[in-house]
Structure 1
């Protein structure tokens, strides 16, 4: 099975592209072939239309918190509110969130989805620091337009399947809360390179790979070096998403690792640790 892992960005370009790990899952061996750079949304849209079958994990929120939708009076089915978003431009969406937060008390300005709470992830309403709200706005409508099967929000019969990844869940298992990446040059310190080295080594441990339904990860030496040397962490995050996508595929007879009671309006992050909830 063809497996992809994508590190997403809300403004792709040559300096900060969308990064895609291209892999094959051969029985229980995850073979990583290359890391692709996707420099525009047009190229991303073409990527989503690559012939299937394949499974891809993308590291942006596929949905918004139910509480936000209810309070805004927006449709409470995923396809309907994503269709509404498709009629907005970026400024309209961001201003909607800004105005909404202005009238909220402290501690209740950024809602989280159920899966964010369990995963320790940022609110999809965040527009600064980690701008996952911008990533959601740019990503989710494009998934719908591409006709892929979006789990669990909008499953279809398409053999191009996308799930939501979150690399931090794997990173925490391997190195705890140590920092391993930064887009800011003055924060790209040797300790972070050491952390990336430790993550790559951890990915090769049987204990971790077995948790994700694979016996081993086959990673060519040049890609090992590319993951360690990439101070932004984009190559590594794409690889971690690919591992989550591979695990989801191994769980295809069990809802792709998504609990049956998950909130399809909000979406769900795929990772074995979240099965305990």
Structure 2
């Protein structure tokens, strides 16, 4: 019997630390069941990069943007090829990114300061050029180079190399807020501010977990947790552990589509090869 492929879901931080680590959920899919095997935390980008590059096969969902808006890239005169654009982007310092993006915004009218990717509208996601609240531009800057250096395949954007160990590592852009909103609407379920660790947010996390465990989402998948795992996800008031599990489910959906013959893991065939697309959107 062929073993179930390793699935991962990543709640990413562009500046990980002991207080705010990168959280990686690991598991596997058995039909419509997605079994959480465990959570791993990384307190540095270097440690996470070593994990990504290790000789193992996996399909992962990563909560960080994989591309910039085409409108922005064109306006700045950056390369329109994804690989060349990312090579240019990773060579910039954060201050250079902030200044370039702020200059772009300054020239635009109120209410339309930011450029958006095509996927942002249906996903409800922040524009990938935002450098504050949340700083997703810095997440792209920190995260995509780790994936490229690990030789990861990004469907629709980048074909990773054939590894000597024969293992293929596949990364999909995920967005946990998309799946959470399907269940909770606009109810908040997390905060990094301890003063906002309220009973209402705890109830929202428990409601979200209950929906995931019975499969009450359009993904058609059920999250399988032990009682201890359920409690750990519910009690993490930052929501980082739960977000990693949500990304795991989105990766499982993409892997299931691929197992059914979809080379793009459920991404739309007409996706913009510069901007990328969020899986399950």
Greater mean deviation of Cα atoms: 219-228 or 46-55: 46-55
Please state if 1:188 is matched with 2:197.
yes
Give how far 1:157 is off.
5.3
Which position in structure 2 is the counterpart of 1:125?
129
1:1-277 to structure 2, matched below 5 A, reads 1-156=5-160, 158=162, 159-208=168-217, 211-214=218-221, 216-252=222-258, 253-254=261-262, 255-271=264-280, 274=281
Q: Secondary structure at the match of 1:33?
A: strand
Contact preservation (8 Å) 1:19, 1:235: yes
Aligned CA distance change for structure 1 residues 33 and 243 (closer, same or farther; 3 Å)? same
Distance 2:216 2:210 in 1: 12
TM-score in terms of structure 1 length: 0.93
Paired residues of 1:85 and 1:141 also in contact (CA < 8 A): no
List alignment gaps of at least 5 residues for structure 2. Answer: 163-167
Cα offset, 1:129, TM superposition: 1.5
Contact 1:32/1:218 (<8 A) preserved: yes
Say which is worse superposed, 159-168 or 104-113, in terms of deviation. Answer: 104-113
In 2, Cα distance between equivalents of 1:44 and 1:150: 18
State how far apart, in whole Å, the 1-side matches of 2:213 and 2:125 are.
25
Q: For structure 1, which runs of at least 5 residues remain unmatched after alignment?
A: none
Name which of structure 1's ranges 94-103 and 184-193 shifts more when overlaid on structure 2.
Answer: 94-103
Paired residues, number: 269
User: CA–CA distance in 2 between the matches of 1:38 and 1:178?
Assistant: 29
